[in-house]
Amino acid sequence: MQVLVIGSGGREHALAWKAAQSASVEKVYCVPGNPGIAQIAECVPMDIADNDALVAFALENKIDLTIVGPEVPLANGVVDAFRAKGLAIFGPTQAAAQIEGSKSFAKDLMKKYGIPTAAFEVFTDAEAAKAYIVEQGAPIVIKADGLAAGKGVVVAMTLDEALEAVDMMMCDQAFGSAGCQVVVEEFLTGEEASILTFCDGTTIVPMISSQDHKRAYDNDEGPNTGGMGTYAPAPVVTADVLARVQKEILEPTVAAMKAEGIPYTGCLYAGLMITENGPKVIEFNARFGDPETQVVLPLLDSDMAEVMMACVNGNLADLDIKWKDGAAVCVVMAAGGYPQSYRKGDVISGLDKAAELGATVFHAGTAAKDGNIVTNGGRVLGVTAIGTDVQKAVDNAYAAVKSIHFDDVHYRSDIAYRAIARLK
């Protein structure tokens, strides 16, 4: 098989890395890729928003399977464009990708089909939103309705914060048109977890659970980021919790999408809050999470390309997907200042040493310059290690992190702290 991965971050590096391990895969291409991906795949400089160019490339290079990494091409209808030419592609259609692209669509779907989620209201008028917030009180959650690169959510602990969030999204248009409509939700208490799934439109199979760390600094302090690290499995997702997630959330959601005439194929990502009343949906994403993919895929013991083709062909129910024992931890090494302003172009050293220590280093924001790998983004590297349990995986990951250097590097030192506390 010839495989094409669309995207350029750490998630796409993990997807290309796992695809390259498949017995049936001869070659992996990546558009546009990054220097880390270039070590295992042929990177092709191309605009991921240009569906016609992507389709032409897939036809010309006889691509057997295309895997879509980021949400923007999905919202842009890349799956529809590929399917129109008879090309196999792993991901949801433009209509089905609304489950991420429109928070109000997802919330309305959950309300209609009785899928557990936070109580909510949708607003297109800022003053009406503010009046509702004052009536409800804080803490409360404000979400931009559209795609905002994972940053369009404010968990407001005070009324002032909540009202400022409405102004930022709706009046100042901090997220452009994505914030013209907002969803105001009840604040849920509990512990968060992520469940990524394989889905063929009818059957949905959960992957191993994971937990992301969104805040920039230790002890979950500082601003929200795209993710500073993650681990799998998440002990908060017990066998009983997972059974409830499957029965009350995953299966009803896939059935609901099918009933609405927009069957969902690809990876459906459920961001959950495990409350005292059971699991509830915080959000759905229409693709693999970043950095959750970097810990989930290393634990996959089945052939990923085979599983994805089963999703495309509608026969996922025929497969028995296997997972490895143990745990995986990913520590994100970011540029100083992230998620605010940060430098680019700093030389990275020690990548070979990290590999010698047994870690897998996924490139997220890097570039090649004058024979060196340099920083080229806020989240620069995702350093992933596995171990027989989460503590050993943490130790292995941080040993590798300490071997890598670039100026003004920033990373959290407490990834997986909740899991370690549970073990103790």
Q: What confidence tens digit (pLDDT) does each residue in 353-385 have?
A: 999 999 999 999 999 999 999 999 999 999 999
Which segment of 122-126, 275-279, 317-321, 370-374 scores lowest on mean pLDDT? 122-126
Of all helices (H) and strands (E), which one includes residue 6? strand 2-7
C-alpha separations of 217 from 275, 317, 340, 377 in Å: 24, 42, 13, 18
Decide which of 3.40.50.20, 3.40.50.300, 1.10.3720.10, 3.10.20.740 is the CATH code for 2-93: 3.40.50.20
Place of tokens 């009324």: 159
- The letter for the amino acid at 258 is K
For residue 312, what pLDDT is reported? 98
Cα-only R_g, the chain: 21
> Domain 327-423, what fold?
Glycinamide Ribonucleotide Synthetase; Chain A, domain 4 (3.90.600)
Q: Over range 4-25, report the average pLDDT.
A: 97
Band of pLDDT at residue 150, cut at 50, 70 and 90: low
For residue 152, what pLDDT is reported? 82
- Are the C-beta atoms of 376 and 388 separated by less than 8 Å? no
For residue 305, what pLDDT is reported? 98
CATH number of 191-318: 3.30.470.20
Cα 296 to Cα 169: distance, rounded to the nearest angstrom:
33
Q: Over range 246-252, report the average pLDDT.
A: 98
**Which ranges of 248-389 does DSSP label H, i.e. alpha helix?**
251-259, 293-296, 304-313, 351-356
Q: Say whether pLDDT at 351 is over 90.
A: yes
- Are the C-beta atoms of 49 and 43 separated by less than 8 Å? no
Q: Say whether pLDDT at 235 is over 70.
A: yes
* pTM of the predicted protein model: 0.95
- Are the C-beta atoms of 278 and 244 separated by less than 8 Å? yes
Cα 383 to Cα 229: distance, rounded to the nearest angstrom:
9
- Let me know if domain 125-180 sits in CATH 3.30.1490.20: yes
| Higher pLDDT, residue 259 or 164 | 259
Cα 109 to Cα 97: distance, rounded to the nearest angstrom:
13
Give me the DSSP letters along 250-284. Answer: IHHHHHHHHHTT---EEEEEEEEEEETTEEEEEEE
Number of helices (H), then strands (E), belonging to the chain: the values are 15, 23
Name, in order, each residue with C-beta under 8 angstroms of 182's C-beta and a sequence gap of 6 or more. 122, 123, 129, 142, 143, 144, 145, 166, 169, 170
β-strands 2-7, 27-32 pairing? parallel
Adjacent-strand bridge partners of 186? 140
Band of pLDDT at residue 30, cut at 50, 70 and 90: very high
Half-sphere exposure of 339 (CA within 13 A, CB side): 15
Q: Say whether pLDDT at 154 is over 90.
A: no
β-strands 89-90, 65-68 pairing? parallel
Domain boundaries, the chain: 2-93, 125-180, 191-318, 327-423
Q: What confidence tens digit (pLDDT) does each residue in 331-344 have?
A: 999 999 999 999 99
Cα 393 to Cα 180: distance, rounded to the nearest angstrom:
43
Q: Say whether pLDDT at 100 is over 70.
A: yes
| Higher pLDDT, residue 122 or 253 | 253
Helix (H, G, I), strand (E, B) or coil at 339: coil
